[in-house]
Amino acid sequence: MKLVQEEHMPVCQDAPHRNLAGAVVLQRFTVPFEFAVYFTCGLLSDPSNRTLLQAMSRREPNKRHHFVVVINAGVAQARVFAARSGG
């Protein structure tokens, strides 16, 4: 915890914490965050690829999960180009 005295802050003589009146207390906390990254090919085109299923049910395997796939125009055009060029 760091105590910083700010100028132009009002001082409250009858406040319960009057010794901190006019001060700013800077505090810091950390929130742990974890996520899995999966690398695969044919995620939506290969029925035997279970990566999406594993990713969605990793933490709650017995729950029915819903999802939406959004593909922007650039990805769609790149896919069409790759298909036409034999890629």
Tens digit of pLDDT for each residue in 47-80? 999 998 999 899 898 998 888 878 888 877 776 6
Q: How many CA atoms lie within 13 A of 43 on its CB side?
A: 10
Task: For residue 46, give Cα distances in angstroms to 57, 58, 60.
Answer: 18, 20, 23
Strand partners, 3: 25
Q: pLDDT tier at 35 (50, 70, 90 boundaries)?
A: confident
Q: Is the pLDDT of residue 3 over 60?
A: no
